[in-house]
Amino acid sequence: MKDVQEVREFARQIRIETLKMLTGLGFGHYGGSMSVVETLAVLYSDVMRIDPAKPDWQERDYFVLSKGHAGPALYATLALKGYFPQADLKTLNQNGTKLPSHPDRLRTIGVDATTGSLGQGVSIATGMALSHKLAKRANRVFCVVGDGELNEGQCWEAFQFIAHHNLNNLTVFIDYNKQQLDGLLDEVIKPFDLAGKFSAFGFDVLTIKGDDIVALQNALTPVRKGEQRPLAIVLDSVKGQGVKYLESLANSHHLRLTPEVKLEIENAIAELEAAHV
């Protein structure tokens, strides 16, 4: 495993570049992008078999961001890993960009699945995992779903399919940041016991703090083999994670920047840039 300080530094860089992207655009999905930063940092620096110089390498591991509105965090990660120039990040959601607001595998190098229509990404990841298993390939698949996204029945159909076929080459992360578009989960549709649900659906389940890099490394580094069940990791995260101002907002799912909000986020960027992990 990589030194935890290296991974923390990578997470800091992802967070900075994501904030800069969205702030330059003037609006976007801040909260849900921030809450997956550490997960992306661990996967792309320490777990997944990837080669940015060969993005279509057949033996690579695959990543599906089912909650596609967190695309800016994925773009920052891919740029920092060298899939495309970091200067491209400034074109987020602009006319002719290769970085649309939600990931598009036909536009962005390094993106394995087009996502954003919530509920569908996990089905795509399931198909990937099944194809690798049937072909007896060693590729692993990792998928991040949002907690609000689990309102979609398609997700639960996929989870049942995953467990039935023992797709233990697939790891599912649930970004449990407790908010969705219209407010708190508990006010919209209560999630109840997520860990209990996944266990009942046939998964091995871990609950990990969304920013606990060591726990994520320990959970993901061992390759699951034999009769081990598929793994679901409930990320006990915070909307706007890692940025105190965003964490304090009643809802940071999508922000349009007023001058006051822009100043707060610019101050947060400056603090992150000055920080040394």
pLDDT in tens, 38-85: 999 999 998 999 999 999 999 999 999 999 999 999 999 999 999 999
Q: Given a cut of 80, is residue 277 above it in pLDDT?
A: no
Crossing angle between the packed helical segments 4-25 and 259-274, to the nearest 10 degrees: 160
Find, among 110, 34, 45, 25, the residue nearest to 67 by Cα.
34
- Which secondary-structure segment (H or E) carries 172? strand 170-176
- Tell me the whole-structure pTM to 2 decimals: 0.97
Residue 229 tokens read as: 């069940």
- Mean pLDDT of the region 166-172: 98
Q: For the domain made up of 2-273, give the CATH fold.
A: Rossmann fold (3.40.50)
Residue 171 tokens read as: 């790891």
203-238, pLDDT tens digit by residue?
Answer: 999 999 999 999 999 999 999 988 899 999 999 999
75-121, pLDDT tens digit by residue?
Answer: 999 999 999 999 999 999 999 999 999 999 999 999 999 998 999 99
Residue boundaries of the structural domains of the chain: 2-273
194-207, pLDDT tens digit by residue?
Answer: 999 999 999 999 99
Q: Given a cut of 90, is residue 176 above it in pLDDT?
A: yes
- Mean pLDDT of the region 190-195: 96
Q: Given a cut of 70, is residue 248 above it in pLDDT?
A: yes
Amino acid letter, 29 = H
Question: 53-71: buried (b, 16+ CB within 10 Å) or exposed (e) per residue?
Answer: eebeeeebbbbbbbbbbbb
Confidence (pLDDT) at 276: 72
Are residues 73 and 34 in contact, defined by beta-carbon separation less than 8 angstroms?
yes
8-22, pLDDT tens digit by residue?
Answer: 999 999 999 999 999
Confidence (pLDDT) at 84: 98
- Mean pLDDT of the region 114-140: 97
